[in-house]
Structure 1
């Protein structure tokens, strides 16, 4: 007898089954997304291509919106921007899959709805994304799971825990009453006579980030290890992200999401989770392109840049040293 791994229907506080909107141009992907959402306990509200949805009458979004956008056409990006606005206002949860080629354009469409963005995902990654949505639903009941399912959930939980733990260690302080990983802001003290002059001198003496050539040398040395050892031994996406952004800051260059995912040295979907966590932790900031509102870059926050400068000063990185 085959075990049934389907979830019970997901219901809101009023007892109504939650719904899903499935949008994908690729027929086989759309069919998989629909099937997986049904198995997870959602009721399908809409299931069609992006073009059909854009040209149809304005309909209410599902509680979960699953989108597959493989090609960043103007019409597709316009629809994604609409979904971001509507999803942000309605509180719908979005899971958006795309390709590496379209990532920058797709990422730039979302600023309100905080979607899960998956890059070239397999079916298993989409299922995990649905599971992350289900984890936020109260009073959710699961049918009995097999041992393989239990192990997969355990590994996923451990991975998320490691991300949170490592991010917390990166942050030097936490504001009272604020969320985890946040930097502690110094209090504004009363300034005595001459305080302004002392502050100016202290500002001049503050450590600065090393030159871009130094940082690029450090990054190159880190990457060289992968030619001699298993890359997984040295996977440290948070640090690689910080180094790449520090070098770009020294070069006065903007960093796209696609470039940062490559620099992280892990699969793009994993890198996006790290970037999202680090933005939430105020380690990084999202910077909109003033010439194209649909495009966004990632940069170090000022506090993070200061922390990195102090770190490099403390370990004595003043020339082409290797870390």
Structure 2
């Protein structure tokens, strides 16, 4: 750990403590520096295979985990512990840094939004997440990163509140409609076409892309992994995972275990969300091909 910021005038021992785990010692050292510069103090920096012993009795700790490769059963156990802790703490408790190739492994064990998954973070993405991690509970400041997280939660909540209380209150769905499947595919192609003529970020709408992709998968009786859904969301994977987590919490999406791979989950529309998408497509058909 090299960082020794001279302009910090408070007692470093009062800074929030962070446990840091990762198998690359050089990366851990760089991460420790960034944690210190963000206002934290690293009380442990160790390989991932020692995490289980180090975390014993550490409920409520702030944790950063840097993953580079699949650790198998040991990694699964660590991820389940982190997810369970997040559910008890009630605030952001853990940051997991992962490469794209481990998205499905991580999301199979992490469901609570108190664990934030960062996929190869770039620019100020890690610093913003560290500020959230180190913030006192409840937040006493209103920096832009926490405002953005609240905005995302509010937007997803607004979508969820528009769902019918029960899927039985809407028209029965006719699953597998070839017309609806073609309509969804056309919508997705048209949305991708915009990116060829405009700056793609101008039209970023991950919630809608996620809903469309999952409706298309439902109509085609296909299963969708978290990593595949990140691609469909047409935003950086870290952003997509945050949307997926919030949409799952608000019961727009559901997680289903992969029956052939216990270390992976599929993401699907909830029944209520599927009803709304079905009704939307029925209305869209009447516009695209009006009767008469």
TM-score range, shorter chain: 0.7 to 0.9
Residue 70 of structure 2 corresponds to which residue in structure 1? Answer: 72
User: 2-side partners of 1:10 and 1:264: how far apart?
Assistant: 42
CA displacement at 1:290 relative to structure 2 = 3.3
User: 2-side partners of 1:157 and 1:57: how far apart?
Assistant: 29
User: Tell me, what secondary structure is at the counterpart of 2:101?
Assistant: coil
CA displacement at 1:115 relative to structure 2 = 1.0
Structure 2 residue 137 is the aligned partner of structure 1 residue 137: yes
User: 2-side partners of 1:275 and 1:58: how far apart?
Assistant: 28
Pick closer, same or farther for the CA change 1:242–1:74 going to 2, 3 Å. same
Greater C-alpha Rg: 1
Pick closer, same or farther for the CA change 1:45–1:59 going to 2, 3 Å. farther
User: Tell me, what secondary structure is at the counterpart of 1:101?
Assistant: helix
User: 1-side partners of 2:151 and 2:39: how far apart?
Assistant: 29
Pick closer, same or farther for the CA change 1:158–1:165 going to 2, 3 Å. same
User: 2-side partners of 1:281 and 1:10: how far apart?
Assistant: 38
User: Tell me, what secondary structure is at the counterpart of 2:63?
Assistant: strand
Residue 85 of structure 2 corresponds to which residue in structure 1? Answer: 87
Contact 1:23 1:47 in 2 (8 A): yes
Contact 2:113 2:246 in 1 (8 A): no
Structure 2 residue 253 is the aligned partner of structure 1 residue 255: no
Contact 1:7 1:41 in 2 (8 A): no
Contact 1:87 1:113 in 2 (8 A): no
Structure 2 residue 252 is the aligned partner of structure 1 residue 303: no
Aligned-residue CA RMSD (Å): 3.5
User: 2-side partners of 1:286 and 1:269: how far apart?
Assistant: 18
User: Please, which runs of 5 or more residues in structure 1 have no aligned partner?
Assistant: 12-16, 142-149, 174-182, 189-198
How do 1:283-302 and structure 2 match up within 5 A?
A: 283-302=252-271
Pick closer, same or farther for the CA change 1:57–1:67 going to 2, 3 Å. closer
CA displacement at 1:256 relative to structure 2 = 0.6
Pick closer, same or farther for the CA change 1:63–1:123 going to 2, 3 Å. farther
CA displacement at 1:229 relative to structure 2 = 1.3
Residue 101 of structure 1 corresponds to which residue in structure 2? Answer: 101
Contact 2:40 2:134 in 1 (8 A): no
229, 239, 243: which one aligns with 1:274: 243
Residue 60 of structure 1 corresponds to which residue in structure 2? Answer: 57
TM-score, normalised to structure 2, is 0.80
User: 2-side partners of 1:211 and 1:264: how far apart?
Assistant: 20
Residue 227 of structure 1 corresponds to which residue in structure 2? Answer: 196
User: 2-side partners of 1:106 and 1:265: how far apart?
Assistant: 20
Contact 1:77 1:105 in 2 (8 A): no
Moved more, 127-136 or 293-302: 127-136
User: Please, which runs of 5 or more residues in structure 2 have no aligned partner?
Assistant: none
TM-score, normalised to structure 1, is 0.73
Pick closer, same or farther for the CA change 1:239–1:89 going to 2, 3 Å. closer
Residue 185 of structure 1 corresponds to which residue in structure 2? Answer: 165
User: 1-side partners of 2:54 and 2:195: how far apart?
Assistant: 52
Pick closer, same or farther for the CA change 1:215–1:8 going to 2, 3 Å. farther
User: 1-side partners of 2:9 and 2:267: how far apart?
Assistant: 39
Deviation track 1:223-268 (CA, whole Å, cap 9, x = no partner) reads: 0111111111211111001000000011111111111111111110
Residue 44 of structure 1 corresponds to which residue in structure 2? Answer: 42
User: 1-side partners of 2:243 and 2:120: how far apart?
Assistant: 17
